[in-house]
């Protein structure tokens, strides 16, 4: 009888052990993740969880390997069918992703939809890292990445503060009908200008607005910044420098016209410390006067 009881106890322990192993295995099974937002995709890669990605949006072009993933479209103009065809069980989405009804439709099928903060700040970046790491169940990797980014951000801020001066910057976000559109308050461009220790010459308005010839001349920016595709659309540096609304500005006269990839400059992802320092140096040194 004693032997039987011992055997029964051993069998129970073995059974519980198997259940624990199976449970742990199921819990550790990688999620099938679709990332909606370039900065979100970059964070997933930085966390070392890229093997869980099964799809990404059009803005997710960095790192290069992300381009091999299925593209579900622009994150503001999504369709449920294309995303659901990838059989995801988790959607990591920037707060601006939508339309909302599409994400609601996806969530109604049982897919977890995690909306992340979209504020353009260093703190928001660190919060996104923590949230993504938590939902992917890799908090240690999140802590490590956040610590590294915090150090890089502090170093970038110190480097920029040591530059001393405060150049005036005009950021062109796009054009329409031949008019120049300038970035004001509550934009990623404005936040970047502040982080770079500079002054946005159109900080007195919100969002993106058409800039008149008179206001450009009065603003007298030391540097003009824009995304690479905007530079191309406007015909290059020489064309911008000769633009009727810009040619009288110090920036145009010295050709201090700074163009960078938009996802690098304005996504506020893991490359933010690098973008801050790069942009801060460029708006102070690039152009004819630097040669």
pLDDT tens track for 58-115:
999 999 999 999 999 999 999 999 999 999 999 999 999 999 999 999 999 999 999 9
pLDDT score recorded for residue 17: 46
Average of pLDDT values for 122-139? Answer: 96
- Write out the H or E segment, with its range, that includes residue 173: strand 168-176
pLDDT at 232 over 70: yes
Q: Record the pTM.
A: 0.85
Burial classification of residue 211, based on how many CB atoms lie within 10 Å of its CB (0-12 exposed, 13-18 middle, 19 or more buried): buried
Domains of the chain: 33-159 (3.40.50.1980), 165-290 (3.40.50.1980)
- Say which residue the tokens 């790069």 belong to: 278
Of all residues in the chain, the percent with pLDDT exceeding 70 is: 86
Average of pLDDT values for 118-134? Answer: 95
Backbone dihedral angles phi then psi of residue 5, each to the nearest 5 degrees: -60, -40
Please state, rounded to an integer, the average pLDDT across all residues of the chain: 88
pLDDT score recorded for residue 128: 97
Confidence class for position 177, pLDDT limits 50, 70, 90: low
pLDDT tens track for 141-151:
999 999 999 99
State how far the Cα of 230 lies from the Cα of 222, in Å rounded to an integer.
19
Looking at per-residue pLDDT, the higher value among 1 and 45 belongs to 45
State how far the Cα of 195 lies from the Cα of 190, in Å rounded to an integer.
9
DSSP states of 86-115: T--SEEEEETT-S-HHHHHHHHHTT-EEEE
pLDDT score recorded for residue 24: 39
The three-class DSSP label of residue 28 is helix
Contact predicate 241/258, CB 8 Å: no
pLDDT tens track for 15-72:
444 444 444 333 456 689 999 999 999 999 999 999 999 999 999 999 999 999 999 9
pLDDT score recorded for residue 176: 56
pLDDT score recorded for residue 175: 59
- Size (the chain), residues: 291
Question: How close are the terminal C-alpha atoms of the chain, in Å?
Answer: 95
State how far the Cα of 95 lies from the Cα of 156, in Å rounded to an integer.
27
Confidence class for position 2, pLDDT limits 50, 70, 90: very low
Q: How far is CA 291 from the centre of its chain?
A: 33
State how far the Cα of 67 lies from the Cα of 35, in Å rounded to an integer.
12
Contact predicate 255/282, CB 8 Å: no
């Amino acid at each position: 009888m004693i032997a039987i009881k011992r055997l029964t106890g051993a069998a129970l322990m073995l059974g519980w052990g198997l259940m624990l192993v199976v449970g742990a295995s199921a819990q550790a099974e990688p999620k099938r993740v679709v990332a909606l937002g370039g900065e979100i995709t970059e964070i997933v890669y930085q966390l070392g969880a890229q093997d869980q990605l099964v799809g990404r949006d059009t803005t997710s072009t960095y790192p290069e390997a992300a381009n091999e993933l299925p593209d579900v479209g622009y994150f503001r103009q999504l369709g449920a069918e294309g995303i659901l065809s990838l059989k995801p069980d988790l959607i990591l989405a920037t707060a601006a992703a939508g339309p909302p009804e599409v994400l609601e439709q996806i969530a109604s099928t049982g897919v977890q939809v995690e909306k992340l903060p979209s504020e353009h700040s260093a703190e928001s970046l660190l919060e996104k890292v923590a949230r993504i790491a938590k939902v992917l169940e890799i908090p240690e990797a999140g802590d490590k990445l956040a610590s590294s980014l915090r150090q890089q951000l502090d170093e970038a801020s110190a480097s920029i503060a040591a530059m001393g001066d405060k150049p005036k910057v005009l950021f062109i976000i796009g054009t329409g009908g031949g008019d120049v559109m300038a970035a004001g308050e509550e934009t990623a461009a404005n936040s970047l200008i502040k982080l770079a220790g500079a002054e946005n010459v159109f900080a007195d308005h919100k969002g993106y607005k058409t800039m008149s010839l008179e206001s450009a001349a009065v603003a007298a920016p030391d540097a003009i910044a824009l995304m690479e595709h905007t530079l191309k659309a406007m015909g290059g540096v020489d064309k911008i420098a000769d633009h009727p609304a810009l040619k009288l500005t110090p920036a145009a006269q010295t050709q201090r016209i700074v163009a960078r990839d938009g996802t690098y400059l304005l996504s506020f992802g893991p490359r933010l410390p690098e973008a801050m320092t790069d942009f801060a140096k460029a708006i102070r040194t690039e152009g004819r006067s630097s040669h």
